[in-house]
DNA sequence: GTGAAAGCGCTAACAA
DNA sequence: TTGTTAGCGCTTTCAC
């Protein structure tokens, strides 16, 4: 393996100069730089990240902690982040929790991240106070994507508002009995979105003068199967809702499936609306509140890179806009529906 | 930051012994080991991967090169790989090409991977001869997932057979005009699956005594939108097929959509079958040939770890089984259908 | 079973 | 603009 020494010997200069030239630092004559580059190229020199990391204390690597990559939302955020990191020459270390509590424990508790990465992106998880303590002890920029965490750098949508938009859409269509499918408001994979969305839903109902019925709130665990089950229970009630708002498109898709199983037509018998604008949403004709997923990854990565570049950078809270996308799973309430 | 020296000083031993104890190497007394562990714990010692990497030449990191993480198939493979890598204490560096030719170029051409990782997993890409040359010059274990590459370690399904299974299913149902939606058999994101699947399709038709019609073979680019478009053109032909075999579930889902747009009922007017058993397949009631996706990631990771552990390891070609999953998008050909 | 010592390949002061 | 000189924190012979 050819090292910086070989290049230095080749151009008859010190390794310090070669290092400077290679990294494009100032204070190197144009001619020297050119000679170094040429030599490095010719010798097939490839820098050693380990050595550079050891000497500089920087790994040029960013950790991305994600609940489950197989969920489209997370994959899309990762993709967005990867793009901007790669552009800046940073590598992306993926930590996939896959719903496994012990995996989460390992990532946060043991200092898996210490001395490994320059910054961390945490997707849709709300670190516990203990985990937060560990994260800040890392002494590295951390950005939370998709969750609210005052005092920390975050990139997200206004979940309360998104839920309100979805619910209002249903109310505007004349629906009064509106079911809600959400997720645990606490737990291993701890999001803040679930509770914010529930709040948005409840607020709109209240404002509309509809008394909210706890029986109409079900837990779909943010998965398709969970949404299906939750919808099944909701739609089999004698006083079944004429519309269902699912806090994620995946749960909404499950709800669609449940409706079909029960022989209910969508949107004639029951309206369904979700949140995300999942890539599959249009193929289900799903009405939803779209959020800029990919963009959240990009912004988050940009944010940690900025923090890395600027010593007195203060955490920002970025909120990206959402937009109602009306497709064909929602319609005006039929006179007979929902009693 | 506490280093190995601090621990050594604390237990009044050399750093060499501490290093051995910490890594669980033989030749350390039980008592010493216990004291070292306790001290490390108490002092909050965290090893530096950079230093270890520099000294040992091993990074305990594996690169995973993936065409696009947002595609469920790839995300699932990554998830499988991550699980086994994490178990063995390896980190996963994600390189997402996202359909970008220059990204691919960067990963393979420039020696981005050199001195960075101990092994590489390449998903569904068939490296060009030039890229292969570079990969083997890495001198590291490389496993290809989802593509055939003689002489290299690969993990995949028998694509030809999977396609044959899908096509036979349609033939068995009495279909004679069977459309095919595949992808470019070469290109930037160069798979071997497309051509193998096309071959499987053609062979079955031939065996069935059905003359294969080039007009019935369309390119869906392995995306939903592409599949939709391809199906649209196929199903609008005057001599439209009574069944369509899409080489991936995503394209099949697009085909389902196209059929609906054209007012064709599935499976009454047209049968549709895919390959993958995508997580969404059951929600579309899609008949498909299932492949063990997650498992391919696990096997591939296990393979490179084995190669890393064993000096005279020879590349293995693992072929995982597939299985026809009959749902409700395929049916016996109607007397009137397909002319 | 343990230790001394020599690096691994680079960066970063500090000089010149 | 360039060079000298120390390390960064660990692993790995080679002794003992």
Contact B285, B328 (CB under 8 A): yes
Q: Do A93 and B96 touch (CB under 8 A)?
A: no
Report the topology of domain A159-291: Rossmann fold (3.40.50)
Provide the phi-psi class of A91: left if phi over 0, else alpha when psi is between -120 and 50, else beta: beta
pLDDT at B338: 42
Token pair for A147? 């969750």
- Å from A132 to nearest chain B CA? 17
User: Does residue B334 have a pLDDT over 90?
Assistant: no
State whether residue B25 sits within 8 Å of chain A by CB.
Answer: no
Nearest nucleic acid nucleotide to B57, CA to C1' distance: C8
State whether residue B83 sits within 8 Å of chain A by CB.
Answer: yes
Q: Taking a contact as any Cβ pair under 8 Å apart, which residues of chain B between 220 and 239 contact chain A? A: 224
Residues A81-117: tens digit of each pLDDT? 999 999 999 999 999 998 678 888 888 877 789 999 9
Q: How far is the CA of B12 from the C1' of C3 (A)?
A: 11
Q: Which H helix or E strand runs over A120?
A: strand A119-123
**In angstroms, rounded to a whole number, what is the distance separating the alpha carbons of residues B17 and B33?**
9
Residues B119-140: tens digit of each pLDDT? 999 998 888 898 999 999 899 9
Residues A194-227: tens digit of each pLDDT? 889 999 999 999 999 988 889 999 999 999 999 9
Strands B178-182 and B243-246: parallel
Sequence-ordered alpha helix ranges (H) in chain A: 4-11, 15-23, 30-43, 49-56, 72-87, 101-108, 129-137, 159-172, 193-207, 224-235, 249-261, 293-309
Q: How far is the CA of B10 from the C1' of D14 (A)?
A: 25
- Å from B204 to nearest chain A CA? 31
Instruction: Find the farthest-apart pair of alpha carbons in chain A and give their distance in angstroms, rounded.
Output: 89
State whether residue B253 sits within 8 Å of chain A by CB.
Answer: yes
Nearest nucleic acid nucleotide to B17, CA to C1' distance: C2
Q: How far is the CA of A37 from the C1' of D2 (A)?
A: 17
Query: Which residue, counting CA atoms, is nearest to the C1' of nucleotide D11?
Result: B55
Pick the CATH number of B61-156+293-320 from 3.40.50.970, 3.40.50.2300, 3.40.30.10, 1.10.10.10: 3.40.50.2300
Q: Do B46 and A280 touch (CB under 8 A)?
A: no
- Alpha-carbon distance values, B274 to A239, A285, B198, B231 (Å): 40, 21, 13, 13
Q: First CA to last CA across chain B, in angstroms? A: 76
Query: Can you give the residue ranges of every domain in chain A?
Result: 4-47, 61-156+293-320, 159-291
pLDDT at A111: 77
Residues A11-69: tens digit of each pLDDT? 999 999 999 999 999 989 999 999 999 999 999 999 999 999 999 999 999 999 999 99
Q: How far is CA A133 from the centre of its chain?
A: 21
When pLDDT is averaged across residues B265-283 and rounded to a whole number, the result is 96
User: Does residue B171 have a pLDDT over 80?
Assistant: yes
**In angstroms, rounded to a whole number, what is the distance separating the alpha carbons of residues B290 and A303?**
41
CB atoms inside a 10 Å sphere around CB A158: 17
pLDDT at B330: 98
What are the two backbone dihedrals, phi and then psi, of residue B14, each rounded to the nearest 5 degrees? -80, 160
**In angstroms, rounded to a whole number, what is the distance separating the alpha carbons of residues A271 and A231?**
12
pLDDT over 70, % of chain A: 97
Q: Do B50 and A51 touch (CB under 8 A)?
A: yes
Q: How far is the CA of A16 from the C1' of C14 (A)?
A: 13
State whether residue A141 sits within 8 Å of chain B by CB.
Answer: no
Q: In this structure, is the CB of residue A60 within 7 Å of any atom belonging to strand C?
A: no
User: Does residue B192 have a pLDDT over 90?
Assistant: no
When pLDDT is averaged across residues A264-293 and rounded to a whole number, the result is 96
Residues B208-223: tens digit of each pLDDT? 998 888 999 999 999 9
Token pair for A289? 């509140």
pLDDT at A127: 87
Cα angle, residue A301 at apex, residues A300 and A302 outer, rounded to 5°: 90
Q: Which nucleotides of strand D are protein-proximal, with an atom < 7 A from a CB?
A: 1-5, 7-13
- Alpha-carbon distance values, A290 to A28, A163, A174, A273, A286 (Å): 50, 11, 22, 11, 11
pLDDT at A333: 92
Token pair for A76? 């899309």
Residues of chain A found within 8 Å of residue B79, distances taken between Cβ atoms: 68-70, 96, 98
State whether residue B22 sits within 8 Å of chain A by CB.
Answer: no
Task: Name residues whose C-beta falls within 8 Å of residue A46's C-beta, 6 or more positions apart in sequence.
Answer: A1, A2, B111, B114, B115
- Å from B53 to nearest chain A CA? 6
Q: Which residue has the higher pLDDT, A190 or B109?
A: B109
**In angstroms, rounded to a whole number, what is the distance separating the alpha carbons of residues A118 and A141?**
7
Question: Which residue shows structure tokens 């590598």?
Answer: A91
Query: Nearest CA to B244 among B220, B276, B218, B270?
Result: B270
Residues B14-37: tens digit of each pLDDT? 999 999 999 999 989 999 999 999
Strand partners, A66: A96
**In angstroms, rounded to a whole number, what is the distance separating the alpha carbons of residues A232 and A261?**
9
Token pair for B282? 């059951």
Q: In this structure, is the CB of residue A260 within 7 Å of any atom belonging to strand C?
A: no
pLDDT at A101: 80
pTM of the model: 0.94
CATH 3.30.70.260 for domain B4-47: no
**What's the pLDDT band for B270 if we cut at 50, 70, 90?**
very high
Sequence-ordered alpha helix ranges (H) in chain B: 4-11, 15-22, 30-43, 49-56, 72-87, 101-108, 129-137, 159-172, 193-207, 224-235, 249-261, 293-309
Which of A44, A70, A114 is closest, CB to CB, to B46? A114
CB pairs under 8 A between A and B: 126
Residues of chain A found within 8 Å of residue B327, distances taken between Cβ atoms: none
Contact B240, B234 (CB under 8 A): yes
Which of A54, A98, A254 is closest, CB to CB, to B51? A54
Residues of chain A found within 8 Å of residue B54, distances taken between Cβ atoms: 48, 50-51, 54
Burial label for B262, CB within 10 Å (0-12, 13-18, 19+), is middle
- Å from A256 to nearest chain B CA? 9
Contact B333, B173 (CB under 8 A): yes
């Amino acid at each position: 393996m050819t090292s910086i020494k070989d290049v230095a010997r080749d151009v008859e200069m010190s390794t310090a100069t070669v290092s400077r030239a290679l990294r494009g630092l100032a204070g190197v004559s144009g001619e020297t730089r050119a000679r170094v580059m040429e030599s490095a190229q010719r010798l097939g020199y490839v820098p050693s990240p380990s050595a550079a990391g050891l000497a500089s204390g920087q790994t040029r690597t960013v950790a991305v902690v994600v609940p489950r990559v197989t969920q489209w939302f997370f994959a899309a955020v990762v993709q967005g982040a990867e793009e901007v990191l790669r552009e800046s020459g940073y590598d992306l270390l993926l930590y996939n929790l896959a719903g496994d509590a012990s995996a989460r424990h390992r990532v946060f508790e043991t200092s898996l991240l210490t001395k490994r990465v320059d910054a961390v992106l945490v997707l849709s998880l709300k670190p516990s106070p203990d985990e937060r303590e560990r994260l800040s002890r890392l002494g590295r920029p951390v950005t939370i994507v998709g969750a609210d965490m005052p005092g920390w750098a975050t990139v997200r949508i206004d979940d309360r508002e998104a839920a309100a938009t979805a619910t209002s859409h249903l109310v505007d269509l004349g629906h009064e009995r509106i079911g809600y499918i959400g997720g645990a408001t606490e737990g291993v994979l701890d999001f803040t979105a679930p509770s914010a969305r529930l709040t948005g839903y409840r607020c709109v109902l209240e404002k509309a003068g509809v008394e909210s019925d706890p029986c109409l709130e079900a837990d779909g665990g943010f998965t398709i199967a969970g949404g299906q089950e939750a919808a099944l229970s909701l739609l089999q009630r004698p006083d079944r809702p004429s519309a269902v708002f699912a806090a994620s498109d995946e749960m909404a898709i499950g709800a669609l499936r449940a409706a079909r199983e029960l022989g209910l037509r969508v949107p004639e018998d029951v309206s369904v609306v979700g949140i995300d604008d999942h890539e599959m949403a249009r193929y289900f004709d799903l009405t939803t509140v779209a959020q800029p997923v990919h963009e959240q990854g990009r912004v988050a990565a940009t944010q940690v890179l900025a923090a890395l570049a600027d010593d007195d950078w203060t955490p920002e809270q970025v909120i990206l806009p959402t937009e109602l996308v009306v497709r064909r799973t929602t319609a005006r309430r039929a006179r007979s529906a929902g009693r």
